[in-house]
Chains A and B, each alone.
Chain A
Amino acid sequence: MGEIVIWALVKIAILFGFALNLSAVLTWMERRQSAMMQDRMGPVKANISGVTLWGLLHPLADALKLATKEDFVPPKAHKAIFVLAPLFAIAPVVMVFAVIPFAPPVCLKQLTAIAPRCVAPEHMQIARIDIGLLYVFAIASISVYGAALAGWASYNNYSLLGGLRASAQMLSYEITMGMALIGTFLVFGTLEPGELVLRQSTIAKWGIVQQPLGFILFFFAAIAETKRAPFDLPEGESEIVGYFVEYSGARFMTFFLGEFLEIVFVGCMVTTIFLGGWQAPGLAADGLHIFGLDLQLPHIAVVGLGLVTFTIKVFIVCFLQLAIRWSLPRMRYDQLMRLGWKGMLPASIINVIITAAVVLWMSSPVKG
């Protein structure tokens, strides 16, 4: 019993250390990357006695600044809900990380053996539940409360409008997001993320190869869910006023961290479902087999390589999200709704129908 708790704590520490640190780095990366895309320098000045690390100390400085800023609550705001709203925004994002498989299953007793087989390997995800992806959708849909309540509780018309835009947008794109994944469920026949990754053993079996349309639809619907450009109408930090306009200091930081955690989570989801999770080309249970290289590796090294692969893939997807955010202009609200309801939703339904037909044809005994 004690062992289970310890393992759960270890996994939580690994995954949250990874997610929180990556989201902190992303706050810096977003500014620096956008600067590089626009021929600017970006934040490079924060330093500890002259050491700047290319500006990597800026997240630290930002956190210090935001934590020490005045925590302002508008006089007419609904205090209890105003205080709770940031937590409503960040809690679901933290919870959904539980089902992400970040490394191959570990055989605890045979760490140095080559390609060991064991009856009950330790799965490298915090919670291994059969309805994993349904759980993700269930929890993720709660996060709309954060935006809606923040907008309502601020007692500010602009916040309220921002909150309404956020609710409408998130509810609309959630449908597409779910529909886009149904094709993947049909192909892989499982909802459990760990099992999903295990079934993507070669590149030809990766979700992105089997479900390219599903990948594109899911990726863009997920960007819309994270409320980032080109779908950043709920916030619109530069022109239109968003739902957290009345928030400052640590509460604003909570919203901000939630948003960047969502980026990391979208990275994790896309990696797990479409990019083969921790599976790398050539990485098998007994070692590396790539470019004519046959390297026998002990179990622990394979697990480590899987973890590194997962990290790199998540990082690349996050990079892509930031690149998209700084390349595309914001959509108008009617364009957003038209794209969601008249473009992406029908496309995802067509994807489901075609996938279902192909899966049925492939599995029918009379083919060919």
Chain B
Amino acid sequence: MPARTKVVTVKRGLWENLYLPEIVRGLGVTLKHFFINTLGPKSKRQIVTIDYPDVVRELPERYRGVHRLNTREDGSVRCTACMMCATICPANCIHIEAGERENPASRDIEKFPQVFEIDELVCVVCGLCVEACPCDAIRMDTHVHMPPVEHRKDAVLEKPELMSRGTKSIAVDGGAGPDWRDKYTDLGSLTQIYRPDHIERDRERPARR
């Protein structure tokens, strides 16, 4: 797409150099906005302010929020401690300590993260960890802002908290196989996006004027 350009020519004659007519014209522009926004009909007002936090703007679908860790069908963490996310992380905010599974599942998954910590204050919210993850274990689709914390250590999210927002993945353990359409009729339920209750509630609350 070619860049859109607009050529603006500024007229500089005697009339403009007198200042006053142009000042009056400028005042006309700003005062028009002022009077429309104060006295004008509600429909014509142009105020764009969103009354945050009373009103929350709808976040885009791919908004990157606080991380979460997805779970397997049996409720254990999907992460296999492969270190892809920790390696690609440009901010070095992911800390994983791998442990060995006691009774590996059918596909011989040997490792799991004993410790999985993300320092949300260090995180640059780039989303590379999600891109790198081969297991659909780490996601950032929570639509949750990182809440402010009193102490820096409170911003380090640990495994239980990350998993508390986790859901089952669309990727099925062991692979769905060629007959996945018949086998998994309720795929929709597996792709649910984590949406905390209070976001829905705030969105319904009318704007306070």
Contact = CB atoms under 8 A, between A and B. Distances in A.
Contacts of A36: 33-34, 37-38, 47
B185 interface: no
A39 B32 CA distance: 11
A339 B33 CA distance: 29
B49 interface: yes
Interface of A: 33, 36-41, 216, 323-324, 326-328, 339
Interface in B6-62: 19-20, 23, 26-27, 29-31, 33-34, 37-38, 46-49, 51
A365 B38 CA distance: 55
A3 B34 CA distance: 47
A327 B25 CA distance: 10
Contact of A323 (B30, B37, B51): B30
A328 B49 contact: no
Contacts of B33: 36-39
Given A33-B34, A327-B23, A327-B26, 13 more contacts: A36-B34, A36-B38, A37-B31, A37-B34, A37-B37, A38-B33, A39-B47, A323-B30, A323-B34, A324-B27, A327-B29, A327-B30, A328-B26
A36 B33 CA distance: 7
B56 to A, nearest CB: 16
Main DSSP-derived SS at the A contact region: helix
A41 B23 contact: no
Given A33-B34, A216-B20, A328-B23, A41 B49 contact: yes
Contacts of A328: 23, 26
Interface-central residue, B20, B31, B34, B46, by most chain A CB under 10 Å: B34
Contacts of B27: 323-324, 327
Nearest to B54: A45
A16 to B, nearest CB: 29
Interface residues of B, number: 17
Contacts of B34: 33, 36-37, 323
20 contacts: A33-B34, A36-B38, A37-B30, A37-B31, A37-B33, A37-B34, A39-B37, A40-B47, A40-B48, A41-B51, A216-B20, A323-B30, A323-B31, A324-B27, A327-B23, A327-B27, A327-B30, A328-B23, A328-B26, A339-B19
Report the 3 A-B pairs with minimum CB-CB distance, sorted nearest first: A41-B49, A37-B30, A36-B37
Classify the interface of chain B: helix, strand, loop or mixed: helix
Contacts of B51: 41
A328 B47 CA distance: 21
Contacts of B29: 327
A36 B27 CA distance: 13
Contacts of A39: 33, 37, 46-48
A312 B30 CA distance: 21
Contacts of A41: 47, 49, 51
A36 B37 CA distance: 6
Nearest to A324: B27
A324 B34 CA distance: 13
Contacts of A324: 23, 27
Nearest to A216: B20
B157 to A, nearest CB: 31
Nearest to A39: B46
A40 B31 CA distance: 14
B106 to A, nearest CB: 58
Nearest to B31: A323
B4 to A, nearest CB: 23
A216 B20 CA distance: 9
Interface string B103-126: 000000000000000000000000
A31 to B, nearest CB: 13
Contacts of A216: 20
Contacts of A40: 47-49
A268 to B, nearest CB: 22
A350 to B, nearest CB: 14
A30 to B, nearest CB: 12
B1 to A, nearest CB: 29
Contacts of A326: 30
A265 B31 CA distance: 23
Nearest to B35: A36
Which residue, of A33, A36, A41, A324, has the highest number of chain B Cβ atoms within 10 A?
A36
A3 B33 CA distance: 51
| Most A CB within 10 A of own CB, among B37, B49, B51 | B37
A36 B23 CA distance: 19
A40 B45 CA distance: 10
A231 B47 CA distance: 28
Interface string B51-94: 10000000000000000000000000000000000000000000
A40 B48 CA distance: 6
Nearest to A33: B34
A324 B20 CA distance: 12
